[in-house]
Structure 1
């Protein structure tokens, strides 16, 4: 796949987005803004306009685009192309109509429409997308920023993993790497990544486990309200599991659905967020656990919620700079 085949003309994108109008804005973040657009062939697109202070060079940017464009999976957002003109960096994606997961799962009105079957489908779909990135694509990719705001939902509420701005490419036989610049979202980041800058497929597994518990509870990782008090979700989930009252974690709006399946999913979520990398399952094992009741689940150990005990309770994006050993 060549860069020419993926290159969009700036003027055509400007027209498609009505000159990047406020009315066409889908969202904003630290990376820049996302706009809805419509091409001449009536195809809806989502255009990410990256902020101009990125340290990434043009060649690296093009290489990343080519990398992501090669990824084809029903649970990944499809990259259509890019534009690198007039000091602008634009990424063009397929348009996904139902916006992001956190707009659904944390909204008291919208999440009432998410029954257990739909939530389970979302959990398994995210898992399959991560498994593809880790093992089934021609590349091995660590997403490094698995969280509710990076999951889009299509018209049938199928999940699609988005935002590969922090993704890392691994050699097929490589298992772990490190960085001197930790960037991510507190609550979703694995402890070894926060403390030492180490990342691996198990880093994504940790973020996935947090997502599972959020989807089941309808509560954000850092703002669970229990008996009028603010608690962190992982600590509450762990204590509930230890005391044999995991059902307390289930969203009260989930009035139907298989209770054993929900309880098993909580158990799997806790296995994914364990402190020790070795204790966390791979995504292949996670999918097997989710889709086969014949697979016995090990007993989880304490999850990696140490950061909350050190007064770090927000789930805002952070950037920590440090020298790795």
Structure 2
């Protein structure tokens, strides 16, 4: 170590290399004793680590540069994986490449550590007065689960020797702060008018996310009830590390909802971005979601009489009318469903979960976008073509209105039975002029028949397959409140529904063929959020491919 030379830790090749990809081995990093590389802020999982070596300091002639042996140990994640490693011996000569491959597990600290350590063997200082410690040409890291790679240039490589330990600790903090600062910059760029909370505050409020305080679970993550030091009751939505809804959706939700204030939109108090935690803090809604009130177990279900159902439906319509027509920002929610309608202590409805919301600029006739939403609530033109307007929310509202009347979810499945489609049932009852059969039996006869018929017809009008037929949400409010007569349904949604089934049949056949060949896995989702990035037929079309249709279509083909 005390050879009097300048302390350099990079060596360059001086001769011609004949191996594959010689540029990778023209330079190498070396250290007299210890050389450690870190990759920070990785996802948990197994990684394939490829270590590329080539001895470019030694020569194969008879000069003094041909003398010497380089022997060192290799550690990955603190474990010895290769002892007394000799590059020349393993490669079969100098100037030749050798690649060593290992598997490394990244767990809770999200860090990968690769260390090369001279353990006192091999040449030290004579005859070349050179550095005979560990040497490495390149490193590549690939996630074994999803195939994404981390190149050497993207890794943080740090020589750890003596005083470099302190520097390495500083780099760890810098990289993690850099990731955090990126999120903070995104938030600041939105000019958010919302508060911020520390993780310590949130943990104190929720008793460290105690299971007894858990009040919900969704595609985004878990929701916890909390109590702030000033007595304010809050709901904390915690981004799941396994969530498909990423950082951009997190930022999107904050940006959308913080700019909107309305009695029928859930109020955002603030957010917390600390470490790997992404948290949203909302006003607490005492009666949970409309879905639990209508479809949940008896111990959770609320006895919603007809006036209360009417009030909830009108409230949802008013909230959507504000988003589409009254707000300075014109918003398409994209995921209107009973689960995303929350009820306060007075059973006032409030629309929540703006993670998928889109800004609808007035100059646009529509937005062409990646399809994302929930099976059973998506408008045909959006589900099939990604053609998004505020009429997609109108369609979803129509489905929710029918659910409020009937007390049944739009799509349900029973073992050994065909799936139940509420919209199809409503259309069938309309043909039979028996729409009152749709009414929730729990209401008995205690409801206003005229109001019920208005809500059913509004629901069917909104859920029409043709977007042009669907009314605006302000018109819906007027219809529900009796100020405007509900226009007659001018088109038959079942026609478009059959077209969608036909398109879905084609996709279904393709999926079956691909599954037989093993080129893709079948992944049919019947519930919850899904996106068009999925390859399964059921994930791409929000229409049930029932057994009768499959049987008839099979006979035709």
Q: TM-score surpassing 0.5?
A: yes
Which of 469, 477, 485 lines up with 1:279 in the alignment? 469
Per-residue displacement from partner, 1:221-258 (whole Å, max 9, x unpaired)?
01289xx9753111110011122111111111222121
Q: SS in structure 2 opposite 1:163?
A: coil
Contact 1:25–1:33 (Cα < 8 Å) also in 2: yes
Contact 1:221–1:315 (Cα < 8 Å) also in 2: no
Which of 316, 319, 322 lines up with 2:531 in the alignment? 319
Distance change in 2, residues 1:250/1:313 (3 Å): farther
Q: How does 1:215-234 map to 2 (within 5 A)?
A: 215-223=404-412, 230-234=419-423
Contact 1:222–1:313 (Cα < 8 Å) also in 2: no
TM-score of the pair, normalised by structure 2: 0.54
Q: Which residue of 1 aligns with 2:258?
A: 69
Distance change in 2, residues 1:319/1:73 (3 Å): same
CA drift at 1:64: 4.4
Return the alpha-carbon distance in structure 2 between the equivalents of residues 301 and 291 of structure 1: 24
CA drift at 1:24: 1.0
Q: Which residue of 2 aligns with 1:37?
A: 226
Q: Which residue of 1 aligns with 2:387?
A: 198
Q: Which residues of structure 2 form unaligned runs of 5+? A: 1-189, 506-523, 536-557
Distance change in 2, residues 1:160/1:198 (3 Å): same
- Paired residues in the alignment total 319
Which of 342, 361, 366 lines up with 1:152 in the alignment? 342
Q: Which residue of 2 aligns with 1:208?
A: 397
Q: Which residue of 1 aligns with 2:424?
A: 235
Residue 447 of structure 2 corresponds to residue 257 of structure 1: yes
Return the alpha-carbon distance in structure 1 between the equivalents of residues 525 and 250 of structure 2: 33
Which of 234, 237, 255 lines up with 1:48 in the alignment? 237
Return the alpha-carbon distance in structure 2 between the equivalents of residues 38 and 235 of structure 1: 44
Q: SS in structure 2 opposite 1:40?
A: coil
Q: Which residues of structure 1 form unaligned runs of 5+? A: none
Contact 2:253–2:357 (Cα < 8 Å) also in 1: no
Per-residue displacement from partner, 1:133-154 (whole Å, max 9, x unpaired)?
1111110011100001101111
Contact 1:217–1:251 (Cα < 8 Å) also in 2: yes
Return the alpha-carbon distance in structure 1 between the equivalents of residues 256 and 398 of structure 2: 26
Return the alpha-carbon distance in structure 1 between the equivalents of residues 412 and 211 of structure 2: 30
Distance change in 2, residues 1:220/1:63 (3 Å): closer
Contact 2:253–2:356 (Cα < 8 Å) also in 1: no
Q: Which residue of 1 aligns with 2:357?
A: 167
Which of 247, 251, 274 lines up with 2:436 in the alignment? 247
Which of 264, 280, 301 lines up with 2:491 in the alignment? 301
CA drift at 1:285: 1.2
Return the alpha-carbon distance in structure 1 between the equivalents of residues 239 and 419 of structure 2: 35
CA drift at 1:91: 0.7
Distance change in 2, residues 1:308/1:39 (3 Å): farther
Q: Which residue of 1 aligns with 2:275?
A: 86
> Which deviates more from structure 2 when the two are superposed, residues 194-203 or residues 170-179?
170-179
CA drift at 1:70: 1.9
Contact 2:252–2:357 (Cα < 8 Å) also in 1: no
Q: SS in structure 2 opposite 1:76?
A: coil
- The structure with the larger Rg is 2
Return the alpha-carbon distance in structure 2 between the equivalents of residues 218 and 258 of structure 1: 16
Return the alpha-carbon distance in structure 2 between the equivalents of residues 57 and 151 of structure 1: 23
Per-residue displacement from partner, 1:42-84 (whole Å, max 9, x unpaired)?
00001111123567557x8546424311211111100111111
TM-score of the pair, normalised by structure 1: 0.90
Return the alpha-carbon distance in structure 2 between the equivalents of residues 104 and 183 of structure 1: 25
